[in-house]
Structure formats: structure tokens, C-alpha cells
């Protein structure tokens, strides 16, 4: 039985559910972990996560397929990326195999919160890890919690599939240590001011340029970019300081192998952007959100696809990706993992 939730009108916000997965690290090892009911964490005021932001997180989704199974999309890649984030932050990696199993347990335990097929909503899964013991000198914690909570969500941007307006940001997204390639709390804290500035000015997101030269396209606060050229080539920025998006990596494969498109993964100069035919943001939360307009310090770029609908290639990519995720189109081996 599903919970009595107005699935069609969910935004992207937090709703506590019945169970979360918790594993604790102490004396050099992770405990066996399991499901807990309490959504509250009680910690010392001096816990490393509060003082030095020792935290990292992931994001993935579960949903019902057409034939009634609950599935997840490529959770092994989230597990692998979280291992990398943890290593970079001097936290003990939570093994990716255990990560996938923990996702399975927490989704199954909260299955009444998985939105029905076709509702447009999904169950967002948020694994995270924090340094929990008290640390006052600048050094890593030696006790940690790995947790996963889930929450049903609707579209990330208001208006669903309607093209959005974004602006070229005056700020750099990542901390000045080039840490954009890990999914860590501090990276996102560095973008909170820029997000508020963009929203106050009426934009949905920021386009961050490379901090060194401010000439190359990086990503937005919560998604990678994809562009389509006038002759139908899929172009996506290559940079060591953006998050290696699982959605973007999947789309590169879908573009080439399902849609027969030419795919270019390369540095993209902001000067080229005005010549693209279509632009979109891709990520777990964003899925593919079309961009219709980019504002850059007094000048505007409007993509030919307009402000009403997605461009034709973006639509094909969206239909194919979501078709694979929801079981309407056959997935490459291992992409869709059945929970139950």
C-alpha cells in the first residue's frame, strides 16, 4: 500500500519517512549497520562535522517501473563516487557493495513512500557521512556515521519540464582548493550565497565558469551541462573540478548508442555557448531540465528551442533516459537494479 500523499503536487523538499539506514564507525571499523526509526542525530557541539564540515553525500532515486518493480538507477556508481569523496576528505570509505545493499534495505523498508508509476514523482535517496567525535585542532575525526534517508520528491525546478532562465555567476562554486569533483557539504555551502543571489534576481540556477580564467563552462549548483549543436552533436564540458555526473555519463552513452549522435566531451568555452541550438542541465534531481535563456552581465543568450518546450534532441534524450529508468526501454546491462 502506498501512503496517502498528493504525489502529483510534490516539490523538491524533505518529508521524513519511517526508516533510515545507519552504520557507525569506531575503533577502525564500520559496525554491521541497520535500519533505525529516529530521524534525529544528537552530537557533541565540537563534532568534526560542525567545526570543519567533514561531511560528504550522494543522491540517487528509486521508482516504480511500468511492470510494478521498485528499481534504482546505477547505485553502484553512487557507491563508487562516495568512496572517492570519503577518501578525499579523510573519512573511511563505506564499501560500495555495502552501500548498494544499504540502499536496497532502506528503500524496501520505506516502500510505501515510493511514488506510483506515472505520477511524475520519485523517491529521492540521500546517503551521507559525517565526522562525529569532538575535534578542536584541525584534523579529521576518527568516529563517523554513514546514513541514508529517503524522501519522496517532485520536480527540482518549479514548472517541471518548462525551460528555465539561468545566469552566469559572479562567484565560484567550489572552495578554492579545487574540490568540485567530490560531493561534499563544503562545496555546496560555497554556492549557497550565489544561489540566493540568482534566485533574488529571478534566475533558477547559476552557470559557473572555471575559476582560473572565467572563460570555460563548468556546471551549475546541482547539475552538469549538456549542449546540442545546430547539426545535432551532443557536447558536454570536461573539467576536473566539476562533479562527475552519473546522469551525464549515462546520457553520453544514450546519445551515442541509442540515438546515434556524435558525442563530444571536451572543454567548452563560454564564447561558443551562443552558437548551440539547445542547452540542458542533467543530474539526478534535475533529470534533464531544459535551459531557454542565459543572462551574462547585461547580455542575453536565447536558445532557438525557446522558453515553452524542450528542444527536439533534448526531448529525445529525456524520453530515452527516462524510458530506460522506468523500464519502457531496454537498459544496458547493470543500469537498472531491482529492489523488489
**From CA 313, how far away is CA 322, in angstroms rounded?**
14
User: Closer to ligand COI at the Cβ: 285 or 336?
Assistant: 285
The residue within the footprint of ligand COI, chosen from 152, 222, 280, 311 (CB under 6 A), is: 222
Residues 83 and 98 sit within 8 Å (Cβ to Cβ): no
Could you give the angle at the alpha carbon of 40 between the alpha carbons of 34 and 46, nearest 5°? 105
Q: Which does 23 bind (CB under 5 to 8 A by kind): ligand PLP, ligand COI, none?
A: none
Residues touching ligand COI: how many (CB under 6 A)?
5
* Contact characters 28-67, ligand COI, x per CB under 6 A: -------------------------------x--------
Q: Give the whole-angstrom CA distance, residue 181 versus residue 218.
A: 11
Site for ligand COI in 284-323 (CB under 6 A): 284-285
Q: Is 122 in the site for ligand PLP (CB under 6 A)?
A: no
Smaller CB separation from ligand COI, 225 or 261: 225
Told to check if 245 binds ligand PLP by CB under 6 A, we report yes
Q: Which does 56 bind (CB under 5 to 8 A by kind): ligand COI, ligand PLP, none?
A: none
Return the closest-CA partner of residue 148 out of 233, 89, 78, 207. Answer: 78
Q: Determine, following the binding rule CB under 6 A, whether residue 219 of this chain makes contact with ligand PLP.
A: yes
Among 246, 252, 287, 301, binds ligand PLP (CB under 6 A): 246
Site string for ligand PLP, 6-45 (x = CB under 6 A): ----------------------------------------
Near ligand COI by CB under 6 A, which window of 17-25, 248-256, 278-286, 325-333?
Answer: 278-286
Question: Of 183, 238, 262, 316, which one is the catalytic site residue?
Answer: 183
DSSP run (H or E) holding 57: strand 55-57
The residue number whose beta carbon is nearest to ligand PLP equals 283
Nearest Cα neighbor of 217 from 296, 313, 300 is 296
Is 185 near ligand COI (CB under 6 A)?
A: no
At 289, is the secondary structure helix, strand, or coil? strand
The C-alpha cell 545507519 sits at 22
Mark whether 183 is an active-site residue: yes
CA-closest candidate to residue 244, choices 52, 14, 83: 83
The DSSP bridge pattern shows strands 20-26 and 164-168 to be unpaired
When asked if residue 247 is in the footprint of ligand PLP (CB under 6 A), the reply is: yes
Strands 60-64 and 122-131: antiparallel
Phi, psi of 64 (to 5 degrees): -85, 135
User: Per rule CB under 6 A, is residue 284 in the interface with ligand PLP?
Assistant: yes
What's the angle, vertex CA 121, arms to CA 119 and CA 127, rounded to 5? 150
What is the sign of the dihedral through the CA atoms of 127, 285, 262 and 270? negative
φ/ψ of 146, rounded to 5, equals -110, 125
Rule CB under 6 A: say whether 244 interacts with ligand COI: no
CB of 208 to ligand COI, least distance (A): 13
Quick one: CA dihedral 314, 316, 317, 321, positive or negative? Answer: positive
- What number of chain residues touch ligand PLP (CB under 6 A)? 12
Q: Whole-angstrom Cα distance, residue 8 to residue 16? A: 18
**Which of ligand PLP, ligand COI, none does 219 bind, CB closer than 5 to 8 A by kind?**
ligand PLP
Give the footprint of ligand PLP on this chain (CB under 6 A).
Answer: 59, 219, 222-224, 243, 245-248, 283-284
Give the footprint of ligand COI on this chain (CB under 6 A).
Answer: 59, 222, 283-285
Residues annotated as part of the active site: 183
Amino acid at each position: 500500500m502506498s501512503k496517502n500523499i498528493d504525489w502529483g503536487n510534490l516539490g523538491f523538499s524533505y518529508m521524513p519517512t519511517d526508516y533510515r539506514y545507519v552504520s557507525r564507525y569506531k575503533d577502525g571499523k564500520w559496525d554491521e549497520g541497520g535500519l533505525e526509526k529516529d530521524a534525529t542525530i544528537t552530537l557533541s557541539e565540537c563534532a568534526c562535522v560542525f567545526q570543519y564540515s567533514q561531511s560528504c553525500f550522494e543522491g540517487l532515486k528509486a521508482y516504480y517501473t511500468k511492470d510494478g518493480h521498485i528499481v534504482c538507477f546505477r547505485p553502484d556508481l553512487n557507491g563508487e563516487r562516495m568512496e572517492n569523496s570519503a577518501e578525499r576528505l579523510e573519512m573511511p570509505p563505506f564499501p560500495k557493495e555495502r552501500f548498494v545493499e544499504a540502499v536496497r534495505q532502506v528503500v524496501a523498508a520505506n516502500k510505501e513512500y515510493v511514488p506510483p508509476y506515472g505520477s511524475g514523482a520519485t523517491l529521492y535517496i540521500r546517503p551521507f557521512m559525517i565526522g562525529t567525535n569532538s575535534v578542536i585542532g584541525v584534523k579529521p575525526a576518527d568516529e563517523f556515521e554513514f546514513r541514508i534517508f529517503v524522501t519522496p520528491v517532485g520536480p527540482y525546478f518549479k514548472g517541471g519540464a518548462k525551460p528555465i532562465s539561468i545566469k552566469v555567476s559572479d562567484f565560484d562554486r567550489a572552495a578554492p582548493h579545487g574540490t568540485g569533483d567530490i560531493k561534499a557539504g563544503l562545496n555546496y555551502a560555497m554556492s549557497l550565497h550565489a544561489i540566493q543571489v540568482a534566485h533574488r534576481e529571478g534566475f533558477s540556477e547559476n552557470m559557473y565558469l572555471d575559476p582560473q580564467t572565467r572563460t570555460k563552462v563548468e556546471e551549475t549548483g546541482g547539475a552538469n551541462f549538456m549542449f546540442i549543436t545546430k547539426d545535432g552533436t551532443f557536447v558536454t564540458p570536461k573539467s576536473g573540478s566539476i562533479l562527475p555526473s552519473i546522469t551525464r555519463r549515462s546520457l553520453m552513452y544514450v546519445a551515442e548508442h541509442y540515438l546515434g549522435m556524435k558525442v563530444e566531451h571536451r572543454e567548452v568555452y563560454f564564447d561558443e555557448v551562443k552558437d548551440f541550438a539547445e542547452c540542458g542541465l542533467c543530474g539526478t534531481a534535475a533529470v534533464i531540465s531544459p535551459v531557454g535563456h542565459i543572462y551574462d552581465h547585461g547580455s542575453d543568450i536565447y536558445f532557438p528551442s525557446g522558453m515553452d518546450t524542450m528542444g527536439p534532441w533534448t526531448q529525445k534524450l529525456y524520453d530515452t533516459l527516462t524510458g530506460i529508468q522506468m523500464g519502457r526501454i531496454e537498459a544496458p546491462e547493470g543500469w537498472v537494479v531491482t529492489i523488489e
